Chains A and B, each alone.
Chain A
């Protein structure tokens, strides 16, 4: 276990070095969320006038949604790096070394967690500039960051596991694109829960992306409700364990197919 952790940090170091050489990449991946934030923030400005809307500023409501969504999207592409490693023979070289099998996926997932943290901090700063407020204070923001990382790690592990099984970039892109947007829209990322259609509310209750959004929003807007936040965090942790198990099984499945 200690060895697996040490090996994972070596692999994270490798991924971060690669990222360090192209720091503009973080900027590129931020373009879309920034557009969401600015454009949707303006577009739906009057949503707050709907009776019963919980905040008086739509930006305040939108920020946790966009931050979680960005973590979700970014991490879900994590498997692409795995396919690149498979194609270039890097994975095979690592598999015939004493590297702990878990580190093969964990290193990538940990790098993705670091990226999510950096991106979220940049977006929080930007949100403050365009006038968002965080009534839940520092605690609320910390919960939001934790939720983004928790969700990102689960999705990253799933994506890497799928990559080890699918092994073709086009197929992985097709699969990911097919689930990303539906999961985003069947959530409360842009709209308060009691204002979306009933069947969507039910579906959203089973959507891990929505669990992370609701927990973050509760923490950021109200602070307080720790029972609710802990329950959501528990569910997300269960998803993470499941995703990690799947990813580890996928390493075995890949090796059996070589």
Chain B
């Protein structure tokens, strides 16, 4: 059985922002599933619908076997949610946050006390347990947030951008904790992220989201594997010449595919090291000056480019500009 099934989710915010434009995907039980996409792609909206916070204009979804619209109460008992905006109550201690959430889930007193102690221990918060959460560091707040989401032993855990705003070391520690949860406790985890390396590191299955649609779905390895061979990235001295460069490289036998994006020209080749001299020669004979050349194994960035026609970093920066409008709609 699938832990999550989303079918044709559409959500529009007034006046005319189409946040989701027919999102469908399914998540098998017990895996870490990554929703990868730039800011504003529709990841958070998807999570809001799957966690019953928001309702879709059309489409349907089932989480842990229950319909998110018709059986919202059952879904709420089966899920844990860590939203982007940490929902930790700053005026309460770490332990009180856990106890409050546990009571809401109807855990009986003695069991709740044991569970709270265990989670505080597990997330390295035992010492800070009786301090008010307002004074916690960013990493501690995030860990408490996850502990609170786990207090009732949910079947499905939603983590919306779990490492955004954390220091690099804290992020790595968080990655370890998330993989441990899926490995040892068998929880299905849906994780949204706009960090390519995070999706690559954690997710066994992922879907790339762009402009309210899922553009491709699969395991990171399979997605990268579909892009045969290596990528040769050529940075042109003159962006205006990218059309000529495209034409010049397209004619080469060893180049499978060429994509241009500003001054960057990306060619997909069977063997990068052998192709570079040919690529350089072809550009030189077409009098196109080159600033730099790099050869790389396929990355998720290449997968993203392949399916959306633009580089991930650019999409993220571009989306960042309309991010405020999405924030206001929350």
Give the interface of A toward B (CB within 8 A).
Answer: 7, 10, 13-14, 17-18, 21, 88-90, 92-99, 255-258
- Complex CA–CA separation, A18 to B85 (angstroms): 20
- Taking a contact as CB atoms under 8 Å apart, the answer to whether A10 and B103 are in contact is yes
Complex contact A21–B91 (CB within 8 A): yes
Q: Which residues of chain A come closer than 8 Å to B55, judged between CB atoms? A: 255-256
Number of interface residues of B (CB under 8 A): 32
> B51 contacts A89, CB within 8 Å?
no
Partner-binding segment picked from B29-37, B71-79, B306-314: B71-79
CB of B106 within 8 A of CB of A98, answer yes
| Known contacts A14-B100, A17-B96; is-contact A96 B85 (Cβ 8 Å) | no
Given contacts A96-B79, A96-B81, whether A14 and B104 have CB atoms under 8 Å apart is no
Knowing A88-B87, A96-B53, A255-B53, the reply to whether A14 touches B92 (Cβ < 8 A) is: yes
User: With the chains together, A4 CA to B270 CA distance in Å?
Assistant: 64
Q: With the chains together, A95 CA to B105 CA distance in Å?
A: 12
Contact residue among A7, A17, A92 (Cβ-Cβ distance under 8 Å from B91): A17
In the complex, the answer to whether B89 meets A90 with C-beta atoms within 8 Å is: yes
CA A93 to CA B146, docked complex, whole Å: 12
Does B91 lie within 8 Å of A18, measured CB to CB? yes
Out of B76, B86, B96, B132, name the residue touching A96 (CB < 8 Å).
B76
B179 lies within 8 A of chain A by Cβ: no
Return chain B residues, CB-CB under 8 Å to A14. Answer: 89, 92, 96, 100
Query: A96 contacts B51, CB within 8 Å?
Result: yes
Interchain nearest-CB distance for A190 vs B (Å): 36
B 61-113 contacts with A by CB, 8 A:
73, 76-77, 79, 81, 83-92, 96, 100-101, 103-106
Q: Nearest-CB distance from A186 to chain B (Å)? A: 36
The listed residue (A13, A92, A98, A257) touching B87 by CB distance below 8 A is A92
Which B-chain residue is minimally distant from A99 (CB atoms)? B104
A10 in contact with B100 given A98-B77, A258-B330 (CB within 8 Å): yes
B92 touches A98 (CB 8 A): no
Q: Which of B48, B84, B91, B96 has the most CB of A within 10 A?
A: B91
Give, as a whole number of angstroms, the nearest-CB distance from B212 to chain A.
17
> Are B90 and A88 in contact (CB-based, < 8 A)?
yes
Q: Is B54 an interface residue (CB 8 A)?
A: yes
